[in-house]
Chain A
């Protein structure tokens, strides 16, 4: 095997041809149905909680908290990971996916202790979400303040 740039390019092409593509149409259908389903549950909750007239923000918060709790329980039981295999983005993109990404490392790294294991690794995957979400919100805030 020669490791020349040309040989690598040829090999890259061979690898692409030999590697099957993900069944994208099927995956998209699964993601659509499962993602849509989670959002529908969210809407159901919202409709129900709205009847208590707690105000829009509180209603949204309660929906969010309930979904996160549900995701945490399913993750703890090892079911969310199994769902994720079939649903793909349908269970990653909703807020339940965010919760799953916080809960799963917390469980996995528990054996390394409650401080440097569970707590430190809790935001292994979700940490960047908060970092970049915060940074983006700062930019939005700056532009809104100065430009309007």
Chain B
């Protein structure tokens, strides 16, 4: 059942992105930025947690989940270390994803060359 929920929630979030692309001609980079910021804001407002509760990976895999993670991280860090947690919480929560992206991008680029379409 949680697989179906993940499929539906994840699919729905992607559809929102598709509508934005087709209707507003936004480039994919802008979509990424938008989704992370929206996820972060919803996370801050406490509205994304129920979505994650319901959708599981359907809510955490899309970039809104990345944004939600930033918000969650910063709030937890504020709770544990206070004001200066504002500066570390977000990045701490995102560190794993960014590090993975950098490492795998580097390794892939070492091995692979650009290909024609």
Contacts and interface: CB of A to CB of B under 8 A. Distances in A.
Interface residues of B, number: 80
A69 interface: yes
A82 interface: yes
A26 to B, nearest CB: 10
Nearest to B30: A128
Contacts of A47: 2-3
Does more than half of chain A's interface fall in helix, strand or loop, or is it mixed?
Answer: helix
A134 interface: yes
Given A24-B22, A61-B96, A133-B40, A72 B104 contact: yes
13 contacts: A28-B15, A30-B18, A35-B15, A44-B3, A63-B60, A64-B100, A92-B31, A93-B63, A103-B108, A110-B109, A128-B29, A140-B40, A141-B77
Interface of A: 21-22, 24, 27-28, 30-40, 42-47, 60-61, 63-65, 67-69, 72-73, 75-78, 81-82, 88-90, 92-99, 101-103, 106-108, 110, 118-119, 122, 125-126, 128-130, 132-134, 136-145
